[in-house]
């Protein structure tokens, strides 16, 4: 309520999440990047899997995670893992 414009932007980019909405941002972002991945797969074939595998490894080895706005705004799932 203190910063309504920032709250709206955070909600639209899924950085702010109400309780029990942890899987929704993962689903939305995956649906947004699916056409890009499909085009990449059509162009270079199985090598398109190199980027998702690298993100997965970075999430587990380096602790890669999406940004959060503060305590209590972490996602329920790490989309990179």
* Average pLDDT along the chain, 81 residues, taken 10 residues at a time: 71 65 74 91 92 88 75 65 74
pLDDT value, residue 22? 65
pLDDT of residue 70: 59
Quick one: pLDDT at residue 14? 66
**pLDDT per position as a tens digit, 59-76:** 889 888 776 665 555 666
For position 44, what pLDDT does the model report? Answer: 94
Taking phi over 0 as left and psi of -120 to 50 as alpha, with beta for the rest, 33 belongs to alpha
Q: Give the global pTM.
A: 0.56
DSSP conformation letters of the chain = ---HHHHHHHHHTTSS--TT-THHHHHHHHHHHHHHHHHHHHHHGGGGGHHHHHHHHHHHHS------SSTT---SS-TT-
């Amino acid at each position: 309520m203190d910063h309504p414009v920032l709250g709206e932007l955070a909600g639209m980019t899924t950085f702010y999440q109400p309780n029990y909405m942890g899987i929704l941002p993962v689903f939305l972002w995956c649906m947004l990047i699916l056409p890009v991945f499909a085009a990449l797969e059509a162009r270079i074939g199985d090598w398109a899997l190199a980027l998702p595998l690298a993100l997965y490894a970075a999430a587990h080895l380096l602790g890669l995670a999406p940004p959060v706005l503060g305590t209590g705004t972490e996602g329920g799932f790490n989309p990179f893992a």
